[in-house]
Every structure is written in C-alpha cells, then in structure tokens.
Structure 1
Amino acid sequence: MNYTKITDFNGTPVVEFSAGGYTAMAAYELGSNIIRLHDDKNGIEFFRFKKDNPAEVIKQSAEVWGLPSLYLPNRFADGILKTSDAVYQLPVNEKAPYNNHIHGFLQKRAHTLVEHYADDNCAVVKTKYRYDENDEFFKYFPVRFLAEFTFTLSDCGLEHKIRLTNLSDKMMPVSFATHTTINSPFVDGGKEENIRLTVPVLKRCLLNSRCLPDGEPVELSGTDLEYINGGRKPVLQNVDNEMYVTGCTKLNGQDFHGVIAEDTESGKKIAYEVSDEYKFWIIWNDKGFNGYFCPEPMTAMIDAPNLEMPADMTGYREIKPQETFEANQRFFTVL
C-alpha cells in the first residue's frame, strides 16, 4: 500500500513515503534532503544513512548524508561570483590554501513542506524554499528566488525534480548540483571491495592545488578509462574531486545519461539517471574508507561564471527575472 506520513527522525520532522517497493524519508527542515532511500524488496540502501544518526549531525554536515541539493554548488575562487550584470563577494568559507567559497546555503536551510500524498501509482512529497532578505546570506547575494522540489516514488524509483524561479530584478546565476552520497556497501550483506562504478566520461577537467579548473577539459587517460568500462572502484582508495564532462552509457541496450554502481557479487545495480541539464560529474569519496562515495552531477563546472571559457563549455547559464530553470534526476534498482 503506497503511503506518505509525517514522523520524527531523531529530532527532525520528516515525510516518510513509500511506493513501488521503495521507502524514503524527506527531511524538509534539513534542506529538503532525502536522508534515506531503501529498496525494500531487494535490500538496497541507496544513500549514506544510519538509523541512530542525530538530526543535528546531519544538519552540521549536510553535504555528507543522504541526497543534499546544492545552490550555489562547489567552489568560487576567493568568494567572487561574476554575473552578466553584477559581481558578488561571497564569504570565503574554505580556508587556506584553498581560499574559496564552497557549496552555498540551500542545503543548510529549513525548507517548507508544501504537500504530500499517495495514490495507487506513486507517493509524492513537495517542498520549497523562498530566498529573500530574511536569509542571512542575502547580504552577500541579493538575488531573490524560489526553489521548489518534487520527490516522487513509484515502480520507476525515486524522481528528484528541482525548479528555480528568479524573483529578483537581476540576472540569476544557475549552477546546481546534488552532493549524492551512495552507501558503501549499498547491498545488504555486500562487501565494499565488490563495488564498481560506471561513469560515461568524455573529457577530464583538471583541477589545480585550490581545487579549481586548470584550463580547458583534456582527453582521458589512465584510470579515467576505468569509468567507461565499469571497472572503477569508488571506495577503498582515495578518489579526490575527479571532474568530468559527461556523455551517455548503455543500460539494458538503451542510451543512459547517468552513472551505474554495481555490486559484482550479487549483480544488483543502482542506476542514477540525470536530465541533460547535468553536464558534469564529480567523483569524491572522503578518502575512501568512510562507508560512502559521491557521484555528484553538476549543471556547470567548478567556478564556472568566473572562467575564461565559453558557456557551452562550462555549462554556466543565467535566467532572467521571472524565468524558471528545471532539472531532474532518478534513482532505481537494476537486477
């Protein structure tokens, strides 16, 4: 029976919702984070999750639990954000030697629950966050906008839809990402050494010592190629901010714009599909021995608005007042 219900998770309200054999929890006051996605039929824990994890721990380190959504994501050199009609000085919250602004604010805010419901086909949770003068970050970035999230569970898995609407009289920079934490191992009873990751990489975006792009994307070499053939181990070794231009791979004979994590012993797979707005992947695993890894889809490169590269290369875009940007993701099990 499909359902949605409001409950408490270790100190924060969440909507628990279930459909299609999956159960999830949306922590709307923790940045609309999907703090759990579980395949109940096949024993798969998609995201990094601990049943006894205090909500305060998730709040203090929002980027490394569940499915956190980031605006503005990743790094801006010296905190500077250049748009077509303004220059903003963001706080430098990544200390030396990096000296960057990192990850924005959206994942740190208490969002509003709009509605939740279930029918015979699916279970749906909708949330929103209105960014304006009431947000402490507004003094750095005075561009009003509305972020709307729709999460849908069904036989097709979990769908994550984001809408950003510019409510200001300025151009709104658009770069969006999820700092997706995949549990390791993700199969009940699985072993980390059996995990392999497929990423449809096209070119590598090299990063300098400050984790900023170092020139235009380059041809693939070495371990980059392991992502293409599905041989890359995403844990038990350090994978440190490997950024790529993305393309398509194959899943069940069809083009697939996303990444695939496989437990080679059981053959069970997590398929993580993204819409065409997501043009880049960053792979990161927190040194590799902490029980999770992050395939992070991004709509634009690190520091994109500040780079001396064309927008069709960086993925950077802006939306006019009252315009809306949309992007979608989907997670599902493949046996």
Structure 2
Amino acid sequence: MANTAELFEWKGTTCVKLCAGGYEAWVANEIGSNVIRLRDNVNGLEFFRFSEDNTADTIKQSAEVWGLPTLYLPNRFADGILKTSDAVYQLPVNEKAPYNNHIHGFLHKRAHEVVEYKADDNCAWVKTRYVYDEKDEFFKYLPVRFTAEYTFTLSEQGMEQNIRFINTDGMKVLPMSLASHTTINSPFVDGAKEEDIRLTVPIGKRCELNERCLPTENLKVPTMHDLEYKNGVKKPVLQVVDNEMYFAEYADLDGEKFHGVIAEDIASGKKLCYEVSEEYGFWIIWNDRGFNHYFCPEPMTAMIDAPNLSLPADVTGYREVKPGDVFETHERFFTKL
C-alpha cells in the first residue's frame, strides 16, 4: 500500500496520521506533539497507551500518561528552584506536600504548529514546532526564548522521532533536561496477557531517591532486584514499580549493541524495541501502581533535579545550550519477531 500523511480531526483535536511500512502513527500537534497512537498493523502491536473511548480533553487533562509525551523540563526540581550558570529561576511548585517540587514543565501541554506533512515511496513524515517566548504564560518563570522542532518519520524501520531545541534568546543559556514519559500499552500485543510481558533495561548504577523523589546523590551498585531489568526477566506490570532511576548502558539486540529497552511478549516472541540516542543517559521506570494497563520506561538526558545537585555535570547529564546553539535527540520504535 502507498505511504500516506494526512491531517484529520480526532474527537476535537487536530492530528496528522502517518501510514508507512505497515505502521500507523497519530501525531497530535495540539497536545504537545504527542504521538497519541502508534500501531504495527501487520504484526498486531499497540505501542502506546491508547483508548478508543478517550477524548482529546481526557488526554489534555493528563497529558503525561497517554501516548508519547515529550517533557521539558522533566521530572522534579526541589522547591521549584532551577540554578543555571547565569541565573536562578523559581518555577511554580505544582507537586504539593510532602513533595513540594516543580514537576514535568509545560511543553507537553502546549499547542504546537504543523510545519509540514508529506509521504513518498520510502516513508511518511510530519514536522511540528513550538516557539517559546513572552507569549507563553510560563515565560515569567523561565524567561529564555527557544524553538522546539519535532520530526516524526514512519517507514519499514518503525517510527523515528527527532527533537531539536534552538536557543533563540541571544543573552541567556537554556537549561537542558529532556525526557519522554513513554507510556507502553499493557499488553502491547493484540490478544496477549499482561503476565507474559518481560522488560529488558540495560542499567548501570541506581540513583537513590529520597521520600520527595529527589536524588540523595548516593549512586548504588545494582541489587538482584535491579538486575532483573538487565537480565530481561522484569515483569513491568501487575506489581508496583515506582520511580526506579538508573544510569543507561547498552543491551544486546540480535548480536549488536543497542542503546534502548526491549519489551517482549514471551508467549508470541514479539518484541517492542525502543532505541534512544546517547544523549539519554538515564532510565526511570514507573507504572502507576502496576494495574492500570501501562508502564513507562522513561529515557532522560539528565538526572532528576540535575542542575541543583552537587555532582558534576558529566555525571548528572545536565547541559546548557548557549545562545544560537542547538541540542538534538533521537528515538526509534520498532517491532522484532
């Protein structure tokens, strides 16, 4: 079948539907360029948490836990404070006591613009963009102008997501920590059972968190519990997995180094593969108490609260984008049989 890219209305929001290589993706530009649906129609895989009964408003109200939301600034900042090399910003405290943190930023809640959508014989793609400046209500907390550009490409290789942040401020550095709050459907294979899911995450040391879900700066050697991820025997649902954060290492996929995670339905042998670029130095695993039919292997470019920690930036992953410079990351989702 011919590859296609088309604009369509889905329950009150605009989306671009891409079809190519047996995959289908719905990119909701008005909900933070969230990929609210990704399917392998040939092999029967529903990658992300999706419900036919949903409305656009349902997703907008909880944009972190549907589809593939991109978070800037992700996870938690203690007391809402964000320290950069040239400023100290006070972000709103939107996670109340006992946590008292700022959580997850704002970009995944904004309406982005569609720049282009097309298809050819090789693939289908859409480009979206968000320009952040004084017109955004968050600017009073973080007055640093930037442009975020997204490109989603669908082909026989699966779905690729490329994200670019351009610091357009001219004066101040742009603090950079980026994450995907990736919601994997459970089960992700049509007709499968949740108890048959196994998750492989190539973990290094564990980053210990305190009762506010903030790093203690104690980096722990993996225990037998942690090594379930590395050994590919972790059951990511039907039990509680609560903000387990690790340094990212490499897995093996078909005899080659693989920087990503692999979820397998052991009954069918079908694998959901999630590859990320090396800028993503950390994985956080979370599953919303384990019985809500999804789990989140979240790649982050930096630790939780990274700019405020005493650990060096080459450990925390914290970066700053200078005026005029660009920060870029890449992800890919695909099926293996």
Q: Post-superposition shift, 1:8?
A: 1.1
Provide the residue aligned with 1:315 in structure 2: 317
**For 1:217 and 1:8, how far apart are their aligned partners in 2?**
47
- Residues 1:147 and 2:156 are matched in the alignment: no
The structure 1 residue matched to 2:177, chosen from 167, 175, 178, is 175
Q: Post-superposition shift, 1:302?
A: 0.1
Unmatched runs of 5 consecutive residues or more in structure 1: none
**For 1:265 and 1:223, how far apart are their aligned partners in 2?**
23
C-alpha deviations, 1:59-87, integer Å up to 9, x for none? 01000000000000000000000000000
SS in 1 for 2:315: helix
1:45-56 residue pairs with structure 2 within 5 A?
45-56=46-57
**For 2:260 and 2:75, how far apart are their aligned partners in 1?**
20
Provide the residue aligned with 1:36 in structure 2: 37
**For 2:202 and 2:11, how far apart are their aligned partners in 1?**
38
Q: Post-superposition shift, 1:52?
A: 2.3
Provide the residue aligned with 1:210 in structure 2: 212
Provide the residue aligned with 1:297 in structure 2: 299
The structure 2 residue matched to 1:190, chosen from 189, 192, 196, is 192
Provide the residue aligned with 1:223 in structure 2: 225
**For 2:4 and 2:220, how far apart are their aligned partners in 1?**
48
1:261-300 residue pairs with structure 2 within 5 A?
261-300=263-302
Range that drifts further, 30-39 or 49-58 = 49-58
1:47-86 residue pairs with structure 2 within 5 A?
47-86=48-87
**For 1:230 and 1:218, how far apart are their aligned partners in 2?**
20
* Identity of matched residues, %: 69
Q: CA RMSD of the aligned region, Å?
A: 0.5
- Residues 1:134 and 2:135 are matched in the alignment: yes
SS in 2 for 1:36: strand
C-alpha deviations, 1:1-48, integer Å up to 9, x for none? 100111111110100110010001000000000000000000000000
AA matched with 1:313 = V
- Residues 1:24 and 2:25 are matched in the alignment: yes
AA matched with 2:187 = P
**Is this contact kept in 2: 1:33–1:67, CA < 8 A?**
yes
Q: Post-superposition shift, 1:157?
A: 0.3
TM-score (norm 2): 0.99
TM-score (norm 1): 1.00
Unmatched runs of 5 consecutive residues or more in structure 2: none
Provide the residue aligned with 1:235 in structure 2: 237
SS in 2 for 1:63: helix
**For 1:216 and 1:325, how far apart are their aligned partners in 2?**
28
C-alpha deviations, 1:145-166, integer Å up to 9, x for none? 0000000000110001000000
Q: Post-superposition shift, 1:222?
A: 2.5
**For 1:242 and 1:333, how far apart are their aligned partners in 2?**
25
The size of the alignment, in residue pairs, is: 335
**For 1:238 and 1:214, how far apart are their aligned partners in 2?**
22
C-alpha deviations, 1:89-134, integer Å up to 9, x for none? 0000000000000000000000000000000000001000000000
Provide the residue aligned with 2:157 in structure 1: 156
**For 2:321 and 2:144, how far apart are their aligned partners in 1?**
11
**Is this contact kept in 2: 1:10–1:52, CA < 8 A?**
no
SS in 2 for 1:185: coil
